[in-house]
Amino acid sequence: MKRFLFFGFLKILGLFFLYMPHFLRFNFALCIASLLSLLDKKRKFDLLANLDFAYNNTLTQEQKQEILKTNYLNLVYSSISFFMLGVSSKKHILNTIQIDKPEIIHNLLQKGEKIILVTAHFGNWEYSTPAFTCYFNHPITAIARMTPYPLVNEYLLKVRSKFNISIFDKNGAAKHLIQALKKDKVVGIVTDQNTAQSDGELVNFFGKKVRHTPIASILARKFDAKIVCSVTFYSKDYKKILIKVLPPIEYQKSENIKEDIYNLTQIQSDLLEQLIKENPKEWLWFHKKFKNQYEEIYRRKSE
């Protein structure tokens, strides 16, 4: 009964937002985002700590507030969009997205190349995989972090698995990614979060040392796969989700496995930094990206 009520409520919520006029949906998200920016002190602290540290305290208060405002709005609007995604059709997805340089993906698929699609928490990142499968009519295998709540996990998997997407838990996901690449399928990985000491490659990012997951680099080298970076942005009116596709990463494979993996991971970190600097408002600054090496920046003075 609990499960029925839970899923029934989320379906109604999704339909409610889906058929709500855009201006009402946007202004509702704007109000919630404004409220959160006032009440959510912990996230705000982490975001400002990241900005001050990454930009060496060179951003003005106006710039930081603009980034803060956009981050909260994107977080709220993306949450609303996720409920909508659970009840959306393929037609709705195609009407919502706009892909820049889709020929990059088309060419790789036509050549039968193995593709590792790496993305980051820009704009509405949840649309990266359904946009891919709906637009290119090709399945994708992706990984995601689970929550401590089984019902929530079931809902997340249900929504994320729509439109020919195979989703697996981050823990133990490597074998599923390997199986997918062996079958010439496309895999998708979100690579911009901080990782544990044992899981991440230490690379440069905004002139600092951070841990960056090397899974895409390891798989690309082992299976001669192409790493393609793709990020999502909202249009100014939030009516469209704009998807930017970058050319495949070019690298020379050597006999030194460790060095190759480091170089490939550093290239991904450099691309992420470049994309953030081009549009800092769209990246989700709430994550403790620098925590592994600089945990002290997230400590409040009262601690």
Residue whose tokens read 């697996």 = 168
Span 102-148, pLDDT tens digits = 999 999 999 999 999 999 999 999 999 999 999 999 999 998 888 88
For residue 247, the number of C-alpha atoms closer than 13 Å in the C-beta half-sphere is: 2
Cβ proximity of 183 and 268 under 8 Å: no
Dihedral sign computed on CA atoms, order 181, 182, 183, 184: positive
Cβ proximity of 177 and 115 under 8 Å: no
By DSSP bridging, strand 208-212 and strand 201-205 are antiparallel
Tell whether the model's pLDDT for residue 263 goes beyond 60: yes
Output the pLDDT for position 116.
Answer: 97
Span 46-63, pLDDT tens digits = 999 999 999 999 999 999
Output the pLDDT for position 302.
Answer: 53
Q: What is the pTM of this model?
A: 0.93
Span 239-249, pLDDT tens digits = 999 999 999 99
Q: How confident is the model over 74-99, as a mean pLDDT?
A: 97
Output the pLDDT for position 197.
Answer: 72
Span 183-232, pLDDT tens digits = 878 999 999 988 877 778 999 999 999 999 999 999 999 999 999 999 99
Q: Which amino acid is at 119?
A: T
By DSSP bridging, strand 115-119 and strand 226-234 are parallel
Output the pLDDT for position 143.
Answer: 87
272-280: Cβ within 8 A, 24+ apart = 272/120, 272/191, 272/192, 272/205, 272/229, 273/205, 273/206, 275/120, 275/122, 275/229, 275/231, 275/244, 279/122, 279/233, 280/67
